[in-house]
Amino acid sequence: MARTVARVVLQGAAVGAVAGAVGLYLSGPVVLSPRHRFFDLRVYRGAASWWWQGRPLYEFVLPHTSKGFTYPPFAVVVLLPTGLGMLTTAEAFFTAVSAALVVVITWALLAPVALRHGWSRWFVVALAVPLVVAMEPVRETLGWGQVEVILLALILADVSALQGGRRWAGIGIGLATAIKVTPGLFVFYLLLSGRRRATVVAGGTFLAATALAFALGPRDSVRFWTRALWETGRVGAADRTADQSLMGLLARLADPAPPDRVVWLLLAGAVVVLGLWRGTRAARAGDELTGVTVTGLTACLVSPIAWTHHFVWGVPAVVVLVDVAAGTRSRSWLQAREAAIAAVLVASVFASSLPWYFQGATAHRTGVLPALGENAYLLISAALLALLPVRDVRASARTPAPPRPAGSSPR
């Protein structure tokens, strides 16, 4: 009993220390919430109110800015509640939902890992949540009032459904695609990995959601799918440090000239082929999490614009690496020691906001190392795309956890 109490106290102290350290870190100048002031949420809210009044959705521009709504029409239907009530209420509600989803996602990712290795699930998750929030993609999502955590939750829900053989698997991917288009790559992931039913469910969900949006706003739907979807300049300039896509890299390298579209198409095509090959290979081997993580990173890299908050797929990538580092067998050369080093490196790069220390380095030709720093998220994602290990999860599930020492508590 005394040992149990002592262990719980030590675990609580460890969680408190990590949470306190992360809190101090987030309270400093790296906190982006006060600077961003939920800018994207204000765009969503303004566009929802504008559209509800019967005005053309893609003519909306947030007052005193040049930014308008860039998502498919179905997204404004989903985001319509943000346009109701006071701005403060919308900010509090959106933040509460996103924060709750961060906790749920962390639990969903780490609980199986903890169970596999005989760790306390509450302790591992409580320790991990502050670290997850410290990673820039999650931190930026909360600060901007973005939807990335919601999309991640929808796709990971499908991972759980696929692993459980649920007939509704694919709905999350279909909804995510209807909200933001780029998750559509996951439909091809389902198709190529042999999940025909889930592919049909995902495609049908996307079409149903898109049809609903068309019924509510036919002119807006026609405009988006024929014009607004292709106007990437509506989102922002590709040469900004915040854009960590392949197009962003090429734009910075070519600055002040425009990037070469043919080179981008060739690179993007190669990345899609590699990403889908590795993702479907992981899925067929039974490692669904690695499969969707690789696919998510692929979607970020080949998107014409991929802001830093889009790279939330760094979170499940770290979980996979931690699992391998803890002893889960890997089907690649990456073993426990290498996986542990990689997990620390990936988490550190994303938590440190490394690209911002080298802002403008690529375009100003200030050297190779600064240019590597400015494009750190892109390079880390490309490395994960090629090297993220495929775990032998089925074999690990059949192997019982090692027995506890005599006299130890089951908790």
Encoded tokens for 43: 């765009």
| Residue pLDDT tens, the chain, 411 long | 666 655 556 666 666 656 566 555 555 544 444 457 789 999 999 999 999 999 999 999 999 888 899 999 999 999 998 888 788 888 899 999 999 999 999 999 999 999 999 999 999 999 999 999 999 999 999 999 999 999 999 999 999 999 888 999 999 999 999 999 999 999 999 999 999 999 999 999 999 999 999 999 999 999 999 988 887 666 777 889 999 999 999 999 998 888 999 999 999 999 999 999 999 999 999 999 999 999 999 999 999 999 999 999 999 999 999 999 999 998 887 788 999 999 999 999 999 999 999 998 888 888 899 999 999 999 999 999 999 999 988 766 555 445 444 444 333
- 146 within some domain: no
10 in a structural domain: no
Whole-angstrom distance, CA of residue 127 vs CA of residue 12: 9
85 bridge partner residues: none
Q: Which of 300, 298, 299, 347 is nearest to 320 (CA)?
A: 347
Within-domain flag for 175 = no
Which domain does 341 fall in, by range? 236-397
Buried b / exposed e over 89-108, threshold 16 CB at 10 Å, is: ebbeebbeebeebbeebbbb
Decide if 324 is inside a domain.
Answer: yes
pTM for the model stands at 0.90
79 domain-assigned: no
Is 391 contained in some domain? yes
How crowded is residue 399: how many other Cβ atoms within 10 Å of its Cβ? 13
- 374: buried, middle or exposed (CB in 10 Å: 19+, 13-18, 0-12)? buried
Structure tokens at 60: 């909306």
Report if residue 245 sits inside a domain. Answer: yes
Within a domain: 269? yes
Q: Nearest-CA neighbor of 312 among 250, 244, 252?
A: 244
Torsion of CA 179, 316, 110, 164, to 10 degrees: 60
Domains held by the chain: number: 1
118: its two tokens:
């005989």
